[in-house]
């Protein structure tokens, strides 16, 4: 079958394994779970970056306010 479609036998084997996971016949992350995890990991990275920016801005503003009081 792989020869007719073009992908390698290994690629087809991976597709079959993933289809088995998706149907519940094999343990592992389903395609939907894998996509959800990817989205959550990206969101987590963005939130961590935003948090670092806010910490830096807070420290900067605190220093500015502290300097004005003197």
Instruction: Indicate whether 69 pLDDT > 70.
Output: no
Assess if residue 25 is contained within a domain.
Answer: no
Mean pLDDT over residues 39-48, rounded?
A: 98
Q: Is the pTM of this model over 0.75?
A: no
Assess if residue 66 is contained within a domain.
Answer: yes
Mean pLDDT over residues 51-56, rounded?
A: 97
Cα separation, 30 vs 21, whole angstroms: 6
Assess if residue 37 is contained within a domain.
Answer: no
Cα separation, 24 vs 41, whole angstroms: 24
Query: What residue numbers bound the domain in which 52 lies?
Result: 44-70
Assess if residue 55 is contained within a domain.
Answer: yes
- The average confidence (pLDDT) of the chain is 91
Assess if residue 65 is contained within a domain.
Answer: yes
Number of domains in the chain: 1
- CB–CB of 31/22 below 8 Å? yes
């Amino acid at each position: 079958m792989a020869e007719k479609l073009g992908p390698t036998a290994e690629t087809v084997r991976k597709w079959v394994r993933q289809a088995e996971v998706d149907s519940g016949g094999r343990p592992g992350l389903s395609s939907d779970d894998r996509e959800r995890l990817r989205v959550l990991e990206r969101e987590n990275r963005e939130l961590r970056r935003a948090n670092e920016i806010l910490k830096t801005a807070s420290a900067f503003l605190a220093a500015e306010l502290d300097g004005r009081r003197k």
